[in-house]
Amino acid sequence: MSILTNIILCPLVAALLLCLVPRNYRLIMRIVGMVATFISMVMAIVMFWRYDSAPMGPSGSFKFEEMHKWVDALGISYHVGVDGLNVGLILMGAIVAFAAACACWEIKEREKEFYILLLVMTGGILAAFASLDIFCFYFAHELALVPTFIMIGVWGRGENKNYATFQITLYLSIGALVSLIGLIALYVQSGVQSFDIVTLTEQLKQHPLSARDQNFIFPLLLFGFGILVSLWPFHTWAPLGYGSAPTATAMLHAGVLKKFGLYGLIRIALPLLPQATHAWLNVIAWLALGNIFYCGLVAMRQKNFNWLIGYSSVAHMGFVFLGIASLNLIGITGAVLVMIAHGFLAALSFGLSGYLYNTTGTLEMDKLGGLLRRMPFVGTALIMAMFAGCGLPGFANFAGEITIFFGAWKSFPLVTGIAVWGALVIGAVYMLRAIRNMLHGPLPEKWQAVAESTWPLRKLPYLILLVSLLVFGFFPQLLTDKIKPSAQKIVTMATGASETVAQNDEPPVVKAKHK
């Protein structure tokens, strides 16, 4: 069995095991949840580490590949494998899952169900990113999505809980359905009777779909996946949903599951529908601006901290769309980089806001203040998260965002210019406002007695996420070296350029331009 299958199965098997545990063994449930995700995380790290030296699988472009026929008549198979695009995402997903499992202390009732759902969600997420079969890809996503709804509905917080559950369920189901229609159309029109991405890619490379088909399928995928990623103007579910979700759910969904749509766009829509992609690039770029600029502005007006980071996470998705719209090696690489970086960041922010909520009972920013003195660790971690959120160098987000700007500048100078304003100024305005209101300033009487837990295990999830952000921020090459070849493949297919585009990675040579 490939290590990839083990990574996916570990949380799912643990979920099954938990079904057998009597519901009053709370400690055991916690331990099982944490251990299962921990094993997954360690294996994901090992896989990431060994990625460069691992041999290519049978299909020639994926590593750690594994394939079993499942429903032969429809061409469905269990097919997993990683290349540069998803190896980082799986690593990020596994780390965030462990952090989320560690951050479940707030759950006090019906823990058994919660942990089972959490593990199922984790397994679904990891499987979705690992799948090379469109059916499994979609199925695994649904497997992860349904627990999200239940968790928000049952363990959510706030008065808006029911409405939030309602909206997020409807929105995401519609998004998933629209993209499903697109995927099925793709399957039918390709004419190979196979859901396998490798087969489909080969087939469509030889016999591209007609322009009419492409123009029909692409918008379905774009908006279907777009809704899942909170593409403007389909973003209102995100702050609402995350505002009401229990901490671990928000961490996992905002951090990892949300990236599914982006991953689908890059993995499926761009290379398989090159013509339509071109036609839609402008639209994507301007919609991205809707995320970056408009949602940034809205974030400035938020009074509730969770809503603020909800909107900021929507805004960050805009960078990824901008990277996709630039459709060149730099942009796509940057897009994947931001996806990974934002995964850590979103998980960290929601984790910390959950911690804050559990200590103070409110996230209304006017009511808080001066908490840094009482909560040095959480406060510092939160400040670092905010810095990462406004694109400070040293954190992985900066590496990704700057790469995207460089990628997009040549095709969309105006859009990039506004996006830079969104990233540097608007982002800083709301992030610093949050720090100023919650952590700085005089400490109100009410919070004099607030204290953070001294138990190191409570700090662990945040430390892990921070360290990940810093490691990839200091050494982005760890990721980009893996992403580049795969991104190049996607770009080559999407632009129809010849495969021989050299990856000029030689040291800078000064060349005079001959005209």
Partner 1 sequence: MFENLAWLILFLPLLSVAAITLFTRSKPRASAQISIFAVIAAFVLSLIVFVFFRGSETNSLPQASVPWLWVGDFKADIGLRLDALSLGMMLIVTGVGSLIHIYSWGYMKDDPGFARYFASLSLFTFSMLGIVMADNFLMMFIFWELVGISSYLLIGFWYEKASAADACKKAFLTNRIGDFGFLLGILMVWAVLGSLNFQDLEIRLVPHMKDYAPVATAAGLLIFCGAMGKSAQFPLHVWLPDAMEGPTPVSALIHAATMVAAGVYMLCRVFFLLNVPGSHALEVIAWIGGFTALLAALIAVQQNDIKRILAYSTLSQLGYMVMSVGMSGPTAAMYHLTTHAFFKALLFLGAGSVIYAMHHEQNIWRMGALKKKAPATYWTFMVGTLALSGVWPLSGFYSKDSILAQALETNHIALFVLGVFVALLTTFYMFRLVFVVFFGGARSEAADHAHESPDVMTWPLRILAVMSIIGGVMGIEGLYTKQFAPNAEGHAAGFGQQLLAPFSHSPLAAYLGLFAVIMGLGAAYALYSRSLFDPLPEKLGWLSRAMRNRFYFDELYERVIIPFTQEALAKFANAIDRWIISGFMVRGASGTTDLVGRALRLLQTGSLQTYAFLLVAGVALVLYLVLLR
Contact region with partner 1 (CB under 8 A), list: 5-13, 23-31, 80-88, 166-174: 166-174
Q: Is 286 in the site for partner 1 (CB under 8 A)?
A: no
| Contact indicator for 485, 266 with CB cutoff of 8 Å | no
Cis peptide before 233 (omega within 30 of 0): yes
β-partners of residue 77 are 69
Q: Quick one: which of 239, 313, 315, 229 has its CA closest to 264?
A: 229
Q: Is 450 in the site for partner 1 (CB under 8 A)?
A: no
Contact region with partner 1 (CB under 8 A), list: 52-60, 199-207, 345-353, 497-505: 497-505
β-partners of residue 80 are 66, 131
Contact region with partner 1 (CB under 8 A), list: 13-21, 63-71, 260-268, 472-480: 472-480
Q: Is 398 in the site for partner 1 (CB under 8 A)?
A: yes
Residue (68 or 511) nearer to partner 1, CB: 511
What is Dmax (Cα atoms) for the chain? 78
Enumerate residues 235-254 that contact partner 1 by CB under 8 A.
235-236, 240
Q: Is 288 in the site for partner 1 (CB under 8 A)?
A: no
Q: Is 439 in the site for partner 1 (CB under 8 A)?
A: yes
Q: How far apart are CA 230 and CA 276, in angstroms?
A: 21
Contact region with partner 1 (CB under 8 A), list: 138-146, 254-262, 360-368, 415-423: 415-423
Q: How far apart are CA 115 and CA 248, in angstroms?
A: 10
| Contact indicator for 165, 149 with CB cutoff of 8 Å | yes
Residue (99 or 426) nearer to partner 1, CB: 426
DSSP state of 65: E
| Contact indicator for 165, 244 with CB cutoff of 8 Å | yes
Q: Minimum distance between the CB of residue 337 and partner 1, rounded to whole angstroms? A: 9
Size of the site for partner 1 (CB under 8 A): 65
Q: Is 512 in the site for partner 1 (CB under 8 A)?
A: yes
Q: Is 476 in the site for partner 1 (CB under 8 A)?
A: yes
Q: How far is CA 416 from CA 203, 398, 469, in A?
A: 35, 15, 24
Q: Is 444 in the site for partner 1 (CB under 8 A)?
A: no
Of 31, 170, 211, 467, the one binding partner 1 by CB under 8 A: 170
Of 348, 426, 466, 490, the one binding partner 1 by CB under 8 A: 426
Residue (225 or 237) nearer to partner 1, CB: 237
| Contact indicator for 473, 403 with CB cutoff of 8 Å | no
Q: Minimum distance between the CB of residue 420 and partner 1, rounded to whole angstroms? A: 6
* Cα dihedral 79→81→86→89 (10° resolution): 90
Q: Is 440 in the site for partner 1 (CB under 8 A)?
A: yes
Q: How far is CA 468 from CA 231, 344, 353, 354, 474, in A?
A: 26, 7, 19, 20, 10
Residue (358 or 453) nearer to partner 1, CB: 453
Q: Is 429 in the site for partner 1 (CB under 8 A)?
A: yes
Contact region with partner 1 (CB under 8 A), list: 17-25, 142-150, 177-185, 297-305: 297-305
Residue (135 or 149) nearer to partner 1, CB: 149
Residue with tokens 């001959």: 514
Q: Is 278 in the site for partner 1 (CB under 8 A)?
A: no
Q: How far apart are CA 355 and CA 349, in angstroms?
A: 10
Enumerate residues 310-329 that contact partner 1 by CB under 8 A.
328-329
Q: Is 412 in the site for partner 1 (CB under 8 A)?
A: no
Amino acid at site 386: M
Residue (115 or 232) nearer to partner 1, CB: 232
Residue (367 or 373) nearer to partner 1, CB: 373
User: How far is C-alpha 85 from the chain's CA centre?
Assistant: 12
Q: How far is CA 111 from CA 21, 203, 328, 413, in A?
A: 11, 48, 46, 51
Residue (191 or 444) nearer to partner 1, CB: 444
Q: Is 167 in the site for partner 1 (CB under 8 A)?
A: yes
Contact region with partner 1 (CB under 8 A), list: 14-22, 100-108, 271-279, 432-440: 432-440
Amino acid at site 193: Q
User: How far is C-alpha 183 from the chain's CA centre?
Assistant: 21
DSSP state of 510: -
Q: Minimum distance between the CB of residue 290 and partner 1, rounded to whole angstroms? A: 10
Q: Minimum distance between the CB of residue 189 and partner 1, rounded to whole angstroms? A: 29
| Contact indicator for 450, 359 with CB cutoff of 8 Å | yes
* Cα dihedral 132→341→380→355 (10° resolution): -30
Q: How far apart are CA 492 and CA 290, in angstroms?
A: 28
Contact region with partner 1 (CB under 8 A), list: 142-150, 193-201, 208-216, 229-237: 229-237
Q: How far apart are CA 98 and CA 44, in angstroms?
A: 11
User: How far is C-alpha 350 from the chain's CA centre?
Assistant: 13
Q: Quick one: which of 363, 389, 366 has its CA closest to 304?
A: 363
Enumerate residues 328-387 that contact partner 1 by CB under 8 A.
328-330, 333-334, 370, 372-373, 387
Of 16, 31, 211, 425, the one binding partner 1 by CB under 8 A: 425
Contact region with partner 1 (CB under 8 A), list: 6-14, 142-150, 154-162, 163-171: 163-171
Q: Quick one: which of 309, 294, 284, 287 has its CA closest to 421?
A: 294
Residues of this chain that bind partner 1 (CB under 8 A): 166-167, 170, 233, 235-236, 240, 294-295, 297-298, 300-301, 328-330, 333-334, 370, 372-373, 387, 390-394, 398-399, 402-403, 405-407, 409-410, 416-417, 420-421, 424-426, 428-429, 432-433, 435-436, 439-443, 476-477, 480, 484, 503-505, 508, 510, 512-513
